[in-house]
Structure 1
Amino acid sequence: MSDVNTLVFQPLQQFFKNSVHLVKKCNKPDRKEFARIAGATSVGFLMMGFIGFFVKLVHIPINNILVGGGGA
């Protein structure tokens, strides 16, 4: 039982102790910090969306040229 205690229970106990300590030490962002983080995330999403849109916009004509539209 001593081996089980040292191999299983003590590391788990230490992990939970460290986790509780971390949660107690953390604090919520204030309104200004939250707005800054939300704005930066929004700008990132918009930039990725525009990059994807322009890549798709360039890819469609190139794909039609390579595959050949086969039209008139």
Structure 2
Amino acid sequence: MARKEKFTNAPVLFVKQGIQFIHKCKKPSQKEYLQLVRAVGIGFLMMGVVGYLIKLIHIPIRYLIV
């Protein structure tokens, strides 16, 4: 019987925790938003540079092997 109660309480607990989480969330200020956008932009730029460098190294090696 205790096992059945555990399964029926799990969805209820999940919904309650979800509602609590939503109530704790807040809209970021403009300063926080710009900081986040800047961080994401730098991350995209860094990943692009790393991918470009790997491609530059990979092309000559591929032609040496083949």
When Rg is computed on C-alpha atoms for both structures, the one with the higher figure is 1
RMSD: 1.8
Structure 1 partner of 2:31? 32
Q: Distance in 2 between matches of 1:11 and 1:63?
A: 54
TM-score normalised by structure 1 residue count: 0.77
TM-score normalised by structure 2 residue count: 0.82
Q: How does 1:41-60 map to 2 (within 5 A)?
A: 41-60=40-59
Q: Distance in 2 between matches of 1:44 and 1:56?
A: 18
Q: Distance in 1 between matches of 2:4 and 2:34?
A: 47
Give the stretch that moved more between structures: 50-59 or 4-13: 4-13
> Percentage identity across aligned positions?
35
Aligned-residue offset at 1:28: 1.4
Q: Distance in 1 between matches of 2:33 and 2:24?
A: 18
Uncovered stretches (5+) of structure 2, i.e. residues with no partner:
none
- AA aligned opposite 1:50: V
- AA aligned opposite 2:19: V
Question: How many equivalent pairs are there?
Answer: 66
Q: Deviations over 1:18-57 (max 9, x none)?
A: 1101110111111110110111111011111111111111
Structure 2 partner of 1:6? 5
SS of residue matched to 1:27: coil
